Chain A
Amino acid sequence: MAQADFPAKYKVEEVKKRKELLELPIASPHDKPIKVNIGPSHPAMHGTIKMVAELVGETIVNIDVEPGFLHRGFEKMMENHNYVTSLPYTDRLNYVSGFINNFGYVGTMEKMFGIEITERCAWLRTLFAELSRITDHYTCQAAICSELGAMTPFLYFMQARDYLWEHFNWATGARQTYSYARIGGLARDVSDDWLKKCKDILLSNIPLLKDIHGMLDKNRIFLDRLHGVGVISEEEAINAGITGPFLRSTGSNYDVRKAMPYLKYNELDWEVPTGKYGDNYDRYYVRMREIEESFKICMQCFERIPEGPINSDDYQAHLPDKEEVYNSIEGIINHFKIIIEGPRVPKGSIYNAVEGANGELGFFLVSDGSGSAYRLHVRAPSFLIMGTLDKIIIGHQLADIIPIFGTVNMVGGECDR
C-alpha cells in the first residue's frame, strides 16, 4: 500500500473557505485581533517553543513562531572540541533518535578520511538507525495522542518505546544519549542474545500497533481533529525545504535513504510510504506506515548481519584496541594522539546527509586539517519545518494548533541546536 486510505470525508474545501473569510474587512471594534501567548512551556505543546497568536474570535489571523529556547551553541562548541570529544553533543540534537545523529556525524568524517566501515558495522548501523527511527515515531505519535486526550494509545506507544529504549540500554549503556558510534566503527559489539531479544521485542510490538490502529484510524473524534487540518501542497513544501515524513505526506517520495543510499539501504527491500493531501491525518498515517517499513528493514537486518569485526583497522581515526594500548608503544601513542589532539581530518569541505526521523539531517563540515572542526553546520529538519509553520496554522482555530504542531513534530534539541 503506497498511499493512505481515507475513511471519512475530506475537509480541504472548508479550510480554504475559512481562509477566504479572513480576508474580509474587520467590521466592528470587537473584532480587533487579540494576542495570546502559547508556550514556551505548556502542557499541550510538543516542545519548548513559543507562539504568539493573534486571534479574531477563535480564528488565528497571524502567528509568530519563536524557537530558540533550547539553544546551547552547538555549532560553536563543535569548533572548540576535537572530533572525538564532540561526539556526545550530537546525541543531544534529536534526543529521541540519537543513533541517527551519531551515524550521520561520524559518516561525515569517514567520507573525508575515505574509511570503509566493515560489513558487520554497516549492518548494525542500519539496524540501530531504523530502531531509532521507530522509537522517534513512537514518541511523536504518542505525544499527538496524549495532546488530543487519547491516553490509552499514548501509554501503548510509550510501553512499546520503553521496551526498545531499555534494550538500547543493554547494548550501549544508555537509554537516550548513546554516543555509540566511533569514526570507523562502533563503541562495542552486540551479542547474538541481544539481537534475538531485539527481534522478540519488535514482534511483541506488532499487536500493540494493531490495537493502536484499531483505536485511532477510524475514531471519529481523532479524525475530526486531523482531517483537512494543517494542509500544505507538495510544491509549497518543497519550496520551503521541508523533508521527511512531512514532505512524503504531501505526495512526494523524496527520502534520503532512497535518493542517495548510504549504509545498506540499497540492498534492502522496502518502500517509501507517501500520503496524498498533506494534512494532519496523512502525516499521522505516513509515520505509522514508516514504522512498519522500519520493522521490515530490521527483520531483514537480523537475517543478514554477518559475523566479523566491527571496527575498521584504519587507525588514523579509530582508537586502537585496549590490548595494543597497554602492550605496545605505538598503540599508546596512537591512543594519546587521538584523544588529546583529535583525528586530523583532511582539509576541505563536505556535506553529508542522512535521513533523520524528521527529514534530511545534513552535516556541513569545513576542516582546516586540524583535530577539531573549523566549522560544522547542522541542517536541522525541524528548523525548516518551523519556518513554514505559521503559514500552515494561519486560518485555523486556536485548538488546531495542538494537532498541527504535534504532527509536524519538532524536536527542540535539533531545531535550536
Chain B
Amino acid sequence: MQNYWLLKDDLKDLFESFPAATYEEQFSQVSIRIPNTELEKVFDYLKDHKKFPMDMLTDVTVVDYLTSDYAEKPNVTGREEDLYSDNRFDVVYHFYSMKTNKRLRLITNCGGEQPELQSSYKWWTAANYMEREIFDMFGIKFKGHPDLRRILLYEEFEGFPLRKDYPTMGEQPRITLRNPEQNNGTS
C-alpha cells in the first residue's frame, strides 16, 4: 500500500534544521513534535519546503491531556500543577502538500495560566475559523490572529467546554438582554 505520509527519510533536512524535533509513528501515520518556541520558523520552513511545500493547512485542533495517562500526574483533576502545566494541551496541525500528495502532522505543546500560541493565519488563511474555534473551545489565545472571538458559542458563555475540567452537566448563567443601541443592532 502506498504511504501518504512523509516518513523519516523524507524529513532528514527538517531534523537538521530543528534538532529539537522528535519523530513518532503510529498506525503508519507520522507525527513531528516541536517545542512551541520554534513554531514560527517551522511554519516558514514548511510553507516554502523545496521538495514538499505544504500548501494546505487541513486541520488544526487541540487535545487536552489533563485526565489521561499521558499527563504528568494522570487521572487527577483540579490540581494546580496539572491545570497550569506547560504540557497540558497538544495543538495538532495537519498539513497537506497538494503537488506531492503527502501529509504531515505537527504537534506542539501549550499550557500555563494564560495559554498562548503563535497564530498560523499569516501563512494559511484556513487557520482563521479553526483557531477561533480553538479559542472558543479551549481558551487558547493566538498571537497575530486578526479577529479572535468566540465562534460557535455566544460571547457571554463562561468557561471553555472542551477542556477536560469543564463539567459535562455544567450550567451556564442566564444572560441579560443585549442593548441593541450599543452594538448597532448587530447581535
Contact = CB atoms under 8 A, between A and B. Distances in A.
B64 to A, nearest CB: 7
Contacts of A388: 125, 128
A67 B136 CA distance: 13
Given A76-B168, A241-B56, A252-B98, A71 B152 contact: yes
A240 interface: yes
Given A67-B151, A241-B56, A362-B94, A368 B26 contact: no
A204 interface: no
Contact of A366 (B63, B129, B185): B63
Interface in B126-166: 126, 128-130, 133, 137, 151-154, 161-162, 166
A67 B126 CA distance: 16
Q: Closest 8 interchain pairs by CB?
A: A241-B126, A387-B129, A68-B152, A377-B61, A348-B26, A71-B152, A379-B59, A387-B128
A350 B55 contact: no
Interface in B152-187: 152-154, 161-162, 166, 168, 184-187
Contact of B126 (A75, A239, A351): A239
Interface residues of B, number: 42
B150 to A, nearest CB: 8
Interface string A297-320: 000000000000000000000000
B32 interface: no
Contacts of A364: 59, 61, 92, 94
Contact of B152 (A368, A374, A416): A416
Interface of B: 4, 26-27, 29, 31, 55-59, 61, 63-64, 68-70, 92, 94, 98, 101, 103, 105, 124-126, 128-130, 133, 137, 151-154, 161-162, 166, 168, 184-187
Given A239-B126, A362-B58, A387-B126, A348 B27 contact: yes
24 contacts: A37-B185, A66-B151, A67-B152, A68-B151, A68-B153, A68-B154, A76-B168, A236-B125, A239-B56, A239-B124, A239-B126, A241-B58, A241-B124, A259-B4, A260-B4, A349-B26, A350-B27, A350-B29, A351-B59, A351-B94, A364-B59, A364-B61, A374-B68, A383-B133
Interface string A105-129: 0000001100000000000000000
A205 B29 CA distance: 41
B168 to A, nearest CB: 6
A35 interface: yes
A52 B154 CA distance: 15
Contacts of A260: 4, 101
Interface residues of chain A: helix, strand, loop or mixed (majority)? mixed
A330 B63 CA distance: 37
B26 A350 contact: yes
A112 B133 CA distance: 27
Interface string A346-361: 0011110100000010
A111 to B, nearest CB: 6
Best-buried of B31, B64, B133 by chain A (most CB within 10 Å): B133
B128 A76 contact: no
Nearest to A50: B187
Given A384-B129, A387-B128, A241 B57 contact: yes
B22 to A, nearest CB: 15
Contacts of B58: 241, 353, 360, 362, 379
A240 B59 contact: no
